[in-house]
């Protein structure tokens, strides 16, 4: 959608759809943590949920036009499967599951009504659904118990890995039908390198630190909310950043020496900055140490936007890759780094603020 319509309305649609889809993906990560699909009676409904997710993916390009009702109905099926399976958990009561499931259903119903009405009302109702995602974690009862950190961290890390892989696919899509030339290969190489650098940021050891932070947490409502912010909202920013980068790369590869529009340059530089901002929020909410070199990389990523509009896509990408690479290398050489170690004590976000 962003490739073909690089404007504010398309971005709003992407944000709303990604928020809803990512919410239920995260919900299924919590579900399979509490209810492992280890028997047929659980696996079959889970497959049904997968089919509904697949239907959602097919309707994304037209979810705000002719296929909005199909998107919403498939989304409600996903919610229904999630609710029914969650009630099989040994540590959750039916009332406990219903405390958040009913709000998920309300969010799905708002999306359906919005699709039926259309127009500006649809955006308003979708926005109300996203507001519900903010409220739901506060409704989770303390009886819920806690999560298995290794499974939970892995589920979210895999999505980041797949999304970064899709950004490489976007380079291939942009190169289709274009004669192979050194400038095309240069943009492709830079695009792959940028994806690798973003992978390095997430998997440099932060995933291990995140697992250690989860192990140090206690099953309280406050800890649950912080975990939700880290693994839903922070990851949402990272995924949105990857989507923007992928859209920018797909267009840049065919226009290596052309000046980029502000929207295209923003996709590359702003998308990278958004990814880094999301990752910083992820660390803060888990009480992990601040990474100053990544803050430097964020500022430098934003600074490349004028390069794209005044010079070319190739220049902006080259500077963006060089800046992020230098910051990653500097962080790797920092003797004070904590990469790969699980924290002995955990800092709360309130401690950092004070």
Mark the ranges of the chain whose per-residue pLDDT is less than 50: 338-354
What is d(CA 211, CA 340) in angstroms, rounded to the nearest whole number? 10
- Position 272 scores a pLDDT of 97
- Position 285 scores a pLDDT of 94
- Position 139 scores a pLDDT of 76
- Position 349 scores a pLDDT of 44
Are the CB atoms for 74 and 56 separated by under 8 Å? yes
- The pTM (predicted TM-score) of the whole model is 0.90
Q: What's the length of the chain? A: 354
- CATH number belonging to domain 149-353: 1.20.1410
What are the sequence ranges of the domains in the chain? 8-144, 149-353
The two structure tokens encoding residue 48: 């049904």
């Amino acid at each position: 959608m962003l490739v073909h319509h690089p404007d504010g309305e398309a971005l709003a649609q992407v944000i709303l759809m990604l928020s809803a889809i990512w919410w239920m993906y995260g919900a299924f990560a919590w579900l399979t943590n509490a209810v492992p699909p280890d028997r047929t009676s659980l696996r079959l409904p889970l497959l049904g949920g997968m089919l509904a997710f697949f239907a959602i993916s097919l309707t994304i390009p037209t979810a705000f036009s002719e296929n909005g009702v199909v998107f919403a109905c498939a989304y409600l099926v996903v919610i229904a499967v999630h609710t029914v399976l969650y009630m099989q958990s040994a540590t959750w009561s039916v009332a406990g599951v219903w405390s958040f499931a009913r709000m998920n259903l309300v969010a799905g119903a708002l999306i359906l009504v919005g699709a039926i009405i259309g127009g500006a009302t649809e955006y308003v109702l979708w926005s109300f659904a996203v507001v519900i995602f903010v409220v739901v974690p506060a409704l989770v009862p303390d009886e819920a118990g806690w999560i298995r950190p290794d499974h939970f961290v892995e589920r979210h890390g895999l999505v980041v890995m797949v999304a970064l892989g899709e950004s490489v696919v976007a380079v291939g899509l942009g190169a289709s039908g274009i004669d192979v030339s050194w400038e095309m290969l240069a943009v492709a190489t830079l695009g792959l390198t940028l994806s690798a650098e973003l992978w390095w940021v997430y998997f440099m050891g932060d995933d291990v630190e995140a697992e250690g932070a989860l192990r140090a947490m206690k099953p309280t409502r406050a800890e649950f909310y912080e975990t939700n912010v880290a693994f839903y909202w922070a990851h949402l920013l990272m995924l949105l950043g990857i989507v923007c980068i992928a859209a920018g790369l797909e267009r840049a590869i065919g226009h290596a020496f052309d000046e980029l529009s502000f929207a295209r340059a923003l996709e590359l530089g702003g998308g990278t900055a958004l990814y880094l901002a999301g990752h910083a929020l992820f660390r803060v909410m888990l009480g992990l140490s601040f990474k100053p070199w990544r803050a430097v990389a964020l500022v430098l990523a934003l600074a490349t936007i004028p390069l794209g509009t005044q010079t070319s896509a190739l220049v902006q990408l080259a500077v963006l890759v060089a800046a992020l690479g230098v910051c990653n290398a500097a962080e790797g050489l920092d003797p004070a780094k904590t990469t790969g170690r699980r924290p002995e004590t955990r800092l709360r976000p309130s401690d950092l603020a004070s």
